[in-house]
Homo-oligomer: A and B are copies of this chain.
Amino acid sequence: METYCKFETALDILTGKWKPVILLNLFNNGTLRFSELQKAIPDITKKMLAQQLRELEYHDIVRREVYPQVPPKVEYSISAYGRRIAPVLQAMNDWGVGHIEHMNELYGEERKAESFPGN
């Protein structure tokens, strides 16, 4: 009765329109400045980028380093603790890859796996 009881915690932290792509960029590139993240994610606004980074930082997934200089320079990276979430992302990714195939088998290639009629 206790199994999976806390998987909602991971869900809460990863949920957010831009968190996946932010994490992806930081995992792949190591360290990025605020402006570099903006360039890597062209459609994100400064507000959302800052907000989602704050949340990830609060949960100690992302590390924020401020260089006290003018103009400001702030670098973001996955924290040491944050790397512990990698296996979770990997498991989700592996399942996701298989699931997209499964959806194609069920509904055909023309319909996207993530979509749900009415969404």
| Residues on A facing B (Cβ under 8 Å) | 1, 3-15, 20-21, 23-24, 27-28, 55, 58-60, 81, 84-85, 87-93, 95-100, 102-103, 106, 113-114, 116-117
Contact = CB atoms under 8 A, between A and B. Distances in A.
Given A15-B15, A87-B91, A96 B8 contact: yes
Contacts of A20: 4, 7-8, 11
A contact patch SS? helix
A102 B23 CA distance: 19
Copies per complex of this chain: 2
B11 A24 contact: no
Given A28-B1, A98-B84, A6 B93 contact: yes
Given A4-B24, A28-B1, A10 B92 contact: yes
B9 A113 contact: yes
A28 to B, nearest CB: 6
A14 to B, nearest CB: 6
Contact of A91 (B12, B23, B27, B88): B88
